[in-house]
Amino acid sequence: MSSTKNIWAELYSQIPKEVLDKILCRTELYDRIGPIELPLRIFFQEVQEPVKFILYYFGFYESGENYFLLTQKESLKFDNPIVRVSSNCNWAFDLRSMRCDCEWELEYAKKMVSEEPEQDGLIIFALDQHGKSIPGKIRGHALLYALGQIQKQDLVYGAYLKNGFDIDYRNYNEVCNILKSLNITKMRLLTNNPDKIKAFQQCGYEVTRLPIEKPYSRHDSEELGVKKIKLGHHLELGNFNRDDISIYDLDPNKVFNESGGVDE
């Protein structure tokens, strides 16, 4: 038994078993706590009435990683659910940064799940996947942003390579374990990322992609432009102009060339 599991076992032992059994599920891999009812705002709604979601917390012992599962399905019995896997982003969720589309994507996912017939949808929020799970988590993400800006590198692709980081460190095995616990075998995955689709297919899931694309503005020129051109994400970007990226004091010829400007 891991030390993390032992520590929590001691804390749980102080709670009456008949109460704990209603909210805690312990496995060899994780603790699941819930259900927790949460009324959530959805920014796309004209009338800002909260929508009731149900939250479950998953805490994995070996990695120490933490996840939220959000759904409206009280039974947790899904057929072919809409699934959105959302990585944490302090810039967007805490500070409302316009430099990325993370907040928009999360709100859109909440809207899609809340409108799904038979409540066949869920969001898995990966609390520790800052900066595509860059080493150091929040500190590493802050370091990348500071380095990238002073080096005149884009913060999606160029800054990672320039400073010796992988483009993406995320591993979806724990997400797959969460989905497996729900007996999900197929999904409609809200994503533009072909690598994410491949990751879930390799875990044995039947995946149909649903697009999730923020309406383009020039503030998206770095995040969405680089994802489309350098990373091959499935994006339309009908009004995209490479020169828009100059609002971030970046050279479009440098950012969008074959090397991503890293060697210049």
Residues annotated as catalytic are 168, 170
Torsion, Cα of 73, 196, 59, 128 (10° steps):
-120
Spatial distance between the Cα atoms of 155 and 31, rounded to a whole number of angstroms: 34
Q: Which has the closest alpha carbon to 144: 130, 127, 163? A: 163
Residue 106 host element (H or E): helix 102-114
The rounded distance, in Å, linking the Cα atoms of 112 and 106 is 10
Q: Is 124 left (phi over 0), alpha (psi -120 to 50) or beta?
A: beta
Nearest to 61 by CA among 145, 17, 4: 4
- CA–chain centroid gap for 62, Å, is 20
Token look-up 């959530």 returns: 40
Nearby residues of 98 by Cβ (< 8 Å), 6 or more positions away: 219
CB 245 within 8 A of CB 255: yes
State how far the Cα of 128 lies from the Cα of 5, in Å rounded to an integer.
19
Q: Is the Cβ–Cβ distance between 231 and 157 less than 8 Å? A: yes
Q: Look up residue 214 and give its DSSP letter.
A: P
